[in-house]
Amino acid sequence: MKKRMMALFLTLSMLLALAAAPAYAEEKTLTFGCQMYSDGLVNPAAQTNCAWNCMRYGISESLFKFNDNMEIEPWLAESWEANEDSTVWTIKIREGVKFSNGTDMTASKVKESLDSVREQGPNGSSNPQNYLPFEAEVVADDAASTITITLPKPDYNLTGNLAYPVMAIIDVAETTDFDHEVIGTGPYMVQDHADLVGYTMVKNPNYWNGEVPYDKVEIIFMGDASAKANALMAGQVDLVENITNVADLQRLQADDNYTVDIASGVRCGFSWMNMKGILANDTLRKAIVMAIDNDTICESNTIGGLYTAGFSVLPSTLAYGYDKLNNPYAYDPDAAAAMLDEAGIVDSDGDGVRELDGQPIMLRYSSYENRLLNDFSDAHTLYLMELGIGITPAYGSSDDCWNDLVTGNYDLDNNNWTTVGNGDPTEYMANWYGKSGSNYCGYQSDAYDALYEQFLETADPAARADLLQQMQQVLVDDAVVIVDGYYNSSMAFSKNVGYAHIHTADYYWLTTEIVPAA
């Protein structure tokens, strides 16, 4: 009897152990629904969106990163110092870091990565020279675990520039597929991908910075704004980024089964005006800006709360003198029409479209479905049609919109840009600098260029802020863009997720902060 009881006890113990085993061995998987900003991951020099994807998906990391106050912190670097005029920087590389393939991240590997991105720069559109000039010399000292960067001219924000995703550190020697399987230092690595569908990520077994919370992350591309919210509420995904439909966002916020995390925005939504074409006409641009009621659009049921209205290219929340700016083109449709009439830009044949130089004004409007850009573009179209301006919509993907911008195949091109992507607006404001490779609209202003060049040589924060205010006023006076407003980012998740956070710097999505529910 005792033997039978013992055998029964052992059998029961084994069954309990087997039943319990899957709880420990169960694979932890996160399903993440997000916009397909670019199908590929990265060749950092090829396209900015690709570089952002690589960092957002938890594959790549940079020497420095930004906290939620947009202050710089070391990441793959341990410390840094610069000489008095900020032309020579010595950066201590963090020891003990490995790439996902197990290779040590040495000073030489860091130099190799930075050099590679700059060498490929002229063949792409991510403009790495804006962050680390081609002429800069990078010297590696593996024994001291340092790199020394000697710049051709002072750069007071080199650490911020090196935090930008384009400058992420990757194992360029071992990466054979830059489009899909980049070897980085982040918590996740690519296991598989399907073009236009998504990625399967797995835990990086060599991750240097603590435990990686998920064994697998399924990234599912979802272009439609409501699709992300519906998939979350249907249990098809656990986490989504940037719910841009107001009704969907409010629905999630009202349901205790979901959490919505919102970051105050440093993004500006704006439509470029291509001054290499018909919009070289100053009067036409000024009338267009005056004909659009930005406040009403931002307060509408479609946009409500996701954007703050504004008229300058830098958000009003930043300390760059927004409240001191003067807007000469506040909404006044009658004045806009009168301005065009006086300039002889009229509808002479009665078809509802004004003509310029004998040709009807039909503007090609490039836009894409993210962060409500198409909604803004639709609203702009209605206002401009009332003014007698014809619009030809050219709505496509993020890649389509970007390609139109860099090739000049647009009159209006609606985008949403981080304004302090490297910690201050130097790189962003280069978009309108006459000598910049990122001046995609062909804007030329001697006054703006002089201010920008003075800004580049100025170290004092108060003086830099004053120069930025002056630069903004020049752009406002010249009616250089149609400003949508200033966007707030968001991340929403179900109870399957214990914690997730959207950062002010929109580069950090799949971080180790995102953990399963207990």
- pLDDT, tens digit only, all 518 positions of the chain: 444 333 433 333 433 333 344 444 589 999 999 988 776 665 666 778 888 999 999 999 999 999 988 889 999 999 999 999 999 999 999 999 999 999 999 999 999 999 998 887 655 557 788 889 999 999 999 999 999 999 999 998 999 999 999 999 999 999 888 878 899 999 999 999 998 899 999 999 999 999 999 999 999 999 777 899 999 999 999 999 988 788 898 899 999 999 999 887 789 999 999 999 999 999 999 999 999 999 999 988 888 778 989 999 999 988 899 999 999 999 999 999 999 999 999 999 999 999 999 999 999 999 998 888 999 999 999 999 999 999 999 999 988 999 999 999 999 999 999 899 888 899 899 999 999 989 999 999 999 999 999 999 888 889 999 999 999 999 999 999 999 999 988 899 999 999 999 998 889 999 999 999 98
Distance between first and last Cα of the chain: 43
In a domain, 87, yes or no: yes
50: in domain: no
Same structural domain for residues 480 and 497? no
Gap between the Cα atoms of 505 and 428, Å rounded? 14
Provide the pLDDT for residue 317. 84
| Gap between the Cα atoms of 293 and 127, Å rounded | 34
What CATH number has the domain bearing residue 463?
3.10.105.10
* 399 shares its domain with 481: yes
The answer to whether 95 touches 77, Cβ cutoff 8 Å, is: no
Q: 128 with 138: CB under 8 angstroms?
A: no
Taking the C-alpha atoms of residue 121 and residue 113, their distance in angstroms, rounded to an integer, is: 12
Whether 378 is covered by a domain: the verdict is: yes
Pairing of the two strands 137-141 and 88-93: unpaired
Residues 241 and 352 in one domain: no
DSSP3 helix / strand / coil % (the chain, rounded to 5)? 30, 25, 45
Q: What is the pLDDT of residue 381?
A: 98
Range of the domain at 234: 29-34+179-264+489-516
Region of residue 145 (left: phi > 0; alpha: psi -120 to 50; beta: else): left
Cα angle: 295, vertex 301, 302; to 5 degrees? 85
Q: Which residues contact 453 (CB under 8 A, 6 or more apart)?
A: none
Single pTM value for the model: 0.74
**CATH number for the domain that contains residue 234:** 3.40.190.10
273 plus 226 within the same structural domain? no
Q: Kindly state whether residues 445 and 375 are assigned to the same domain.
A: yes
The tokens for 293 are 């009621």
Whether residue 137 is found in the same domain as residue 95:
yes
Query: Beta 390-396 vs 362-368: how paired, if at all?
Result: parallel
Q: How many angstroms separate the CA atoms of 279 and 441, rounded?
A: 10
The answer to whether position 329 is within a domain reads yes
Together in a domain, 278 and 371: yes
Asked if 441 and 304 touch (Cβ cutoff 8 Å), the reply is no
> Considering the domain boundaries, does residue 246 fall inside one?
yes
Beta strands in 347-449 (DSSP E): 355-356, 359-360, 362-368, 390-396, 412-418
Same domain, 183 and 92: no
Of the candidates 143, 167, 191, which is a domain's last residue?
Answer: 167
H or E segment and range at residue 89: strand 88-93
Q: Are residues 203 and 325 in the same domain?
A: no
Residue 436 falls within a domain, yes or no?
yes
Report the number of distinct structural domains present in the chain: 3
The confidence score (pLDDT) of residue 123 equals 59
Count of all residues that appear for the chain in the document: 518
- Distance in angstroms (rounded) separating the CA atoms of residues 312 and 477: 10
309 lies in some domain: yes
Beta bridge partners of 92: 79, 146
- Tell me whether residue 286 is in a domain: yes
328 and 358 together in one domain: yes
Tell whether 374 and 451 lie within a shared domain.
Answer: yes
- pLDDT of 180 reads 83
The Cα 347–Cα 303 span in angstroms is 32
Q: Give the model's pLDDT for residue 12.
A: 33
**295 shares a domain with 185:** no
Give the C-alpha separation, 96 to 271, whole Å.
45
Give the side-chain half-sphere CA count within 13 A for 51.
25
CATH code for the domain in which residue 107 is found: 3.90.76.10
User: Distance between CA 118 and CA 120 in Å, rounded?
Assistant: 5
